Amino acid sequence: MKFSVYRYNPDVDKKPYMQDYDIELHDEDHMLLDALIRIKEHDDTLSLRKSCREGVCGSDAMNINGKNGLACITKLIDLAEPVVLRPMPGLPVIRDLVVDMTQFFEHYNSVKPYLVNNDPLPETERLQSPEDRAKLDGLYECILCGACTTSCPSFWWNPDKFVGPAGLLQANRFIMDSRDQATEERLENLEDPYRLYRCHNIMNCVEVCPKKLNPNAAIANIKDLKIERARETKTTKKQIAIKSI
Amino acid sequence: MRLWLSQRLTAVIMAVYIVLLIILLAIQQPVGFDVWHAFVSPGWFRLITFLFFISLFIHAWLGVSDVFQDYIYNLKLRAYLQMIVDILLVVYLVWVSFILWNI
């Protein structure tokens, strides 16, 4: 099977180049990651991240024939030859298919991706009704592979300012959590022209997500909540004003 | 949020106006100067048309500002371009009102 792989080793190469491989696959090679490991048997200078090899860890996200995805759950049989493999776009390349995800995780950190609850710790656990728990479906499954954020033009143009679909999906995950008490702060945290509102709904994120999640819907939900919140504050202000009269 | 919301609201106003205009045109079919003149003359028609153009210019202002923020990193240049757009849009608005109330 024919492959064309992006190669770049900043220590040696002046600039990136595409290297062609034509490799003999074995019967048990079904997924793209199997083929990449096969390539590495011939050429161990090729660098890539991988770990769980079953679409759970999110390490081997890359640009496959122009579309971001996980190598380990991409079937070889579905790919047109030569399979063009590049690192995820919009992030600095460390080497070959390995990108520097610092920026990505900075945005992730900026939305405080953890439960904020100042009540004293209960004896056992913080309980949730099944209905409240169901609100987290489609949000908690994110594996932070970065496929969505690095396929988003708004992130390409403003990588330092726009949180990106993955980060915003996480923001919504904690906004929607009935056990979280920082909803107000979380909504306020996204109030500037870039962090949230650079999403213009082109839905590349939805198309590439290997877990079939919908960051676009999550972002829309945050926007809706912000409007609701603004209306509520307005009414309260009015009520206070009326009372003071 | 206010900017984002204004963009949606102006879009809704424009969408409603366009649908309304198409329906009115289909019903009244103002062919010929006199009929057309009678069609565009009522005060409410001028008013909603003016409202449409205000929405259009606000919408355009927001969109162009977004594009400038995305592509033009030199702050001075961005401010200049933004100023040109601002002036243009204000001129257009005056021009539109002039046309609408002079037919």
Q: What is the CATH number of the domain that holds A128?
A: 1.10.1060.10
Q: Are strands A2-7 and A83-86 parallel, antiparallel or unpaired?
A: parallel
Q: Is the separation of the CB atoms in A225 and A187 below 8 Å?
A: yes
User: For residue A197, which residues of chain B lie inside 8 Å, CB to CB?
Assistant: 1, 3-4
In this model, does residue A222 exceed pLDDT 80?
A: yes
Q: Give the separation between CA A165 and CA A147, rounded to whole angstroms.
A: 10
| Summary mean pLDDT of chain A | 94
Which is nearest to A72 in space by CA: A225, A196, A211? A211
For residues A168 and A231, state if they share a domain.
yes
Question: Among the three residues A69, A99, A129, which one is the final residue of a domain in this structure?
Answer: A99
The CA–CA distances, whole Å, from B32 to A56, A91, A198, B20, B61 equal: 68, 60, 47, 21, 35
- Report the distance separating Cα A217 and Cα A133, nearest Å: 18
Alpha-carbon gap: B69 to the closest alpha carbon of chain A (Å) = 9
Same domain, A95 and A215: no
The answer, for B12 touching chain A at a CB cutoff of 8 Å, is: no
Least CB–CB distance from A191: residue in B1, B5, B70: B1
Residues A73 and A174 both lie in one domain: no
Task: Indicate whether A81 and A42 sit together in one domain.
Answer: yes
Q: Read off the pTM.
A: 0.85
**Domain endpoint, select from A48, A72, A99:** A99
Q: In which element (H, E) is residue B76 found?
A: helix B75-100
Nearest Cα residue to A116 out of A182, A38, A55 = A182
Last residue of a domain, one of A67, A99, A131: A99
Judged by DSSP in three states, A228 sits in helix
Q: Which residue of A has its CA nearest to B1?
A: A191
Q: At what angle do helices B43-71 and B2-28 cross, to 10 degrees?
A: 140
With an 8 Å Cβ cutoff, are A157 and B1 in contact?
no
Q: Which residues contact A88 (CB under 8 A, 6 or more apart)?
A: A61, A62, A63, A68, A99, A146, A147, A150, A151
Same domain, A95 and A109: no
Nearest of A152, A143, A135, A164 to residue A213 by alpha carbon: A143
Q: Predicted ipTM?
A: 0.71
pLDDT in tens, B3-61: 888 999 999 999 999 999 999 999 988 888 888 888 888 889 999 999 999 999 999 99
Q: Which residues of A touch B (CB under 8 A)?
A: 154, 157-158, 191, 193-194, 197-198, 223, 226-227, 230
Residue A51 token pair: 């770990």
DSSP annotation of A31 reads B
CB-CB neighbors (< 8 A) of B71 in chain A: 157
Tell me: do A82 and A110 sit in the same domain: no
Segments forming the whole domain that contains residue B22: 2-100
Residues A57 and A87 in one domain: yes
CB contact under 8 A, A157 and B3: no
Q: What is the rounded distance in angstroms from the CA atom of residue A64 to the CA atom of residue A89? A: 11
pLDDT tens-digit map of A126-148: 999 999 999 999 999 999 999 99
Task: Name which of A187, A223, A225 to mutate to probe chain B: the one with the most chain B Cβ atoms within 10 A of its Cβ.
Answer: A223
Tokens 């206010």 appear where? B2
Type of residue numbered A78: D
Parent domain of A84 = 2-99
* Together in a domain, A200 and A154: yes
Residue A244 has pLDDT above 80, yes or no: no
The domain total for chain B is 1
Q: Which of B4, B70, B71 sits opposite A197 (nearest CB)?
A: B4
Which among B5, B69, B71 has CB closest to A193?
B69
Query: Do A189 and A233 lie in a common domain?
Result: yes
Residues A151 and A181 in one domain: yes
Task: Give B92→chain A minimum CA distance, Å.
Answer: 26
pLDDT > 70: percent of chain A? 100
The helix/strand/coil state of B25 is helix
Provide the CATH number for the domain around residue B28.
1.20.1300.10
* Structural domain count, chain A: 2
A113-117 mean pLDDT: 95
Whether A223 sits inside 8 A of B71 (CB atoms) is: no
Instruction: Supply the CATH number for residue A66's domain.
Output: 3.10.20.30
Using CA atoms, how far apart are residues A221 and A240, in angstroms rounded to an integer? Answer: 28
What would the pLDDT profile of B52-87 be if each residue is shown by its tens digit? Answer: 999 999 999 999 998 998 888 899 999 999 999 999
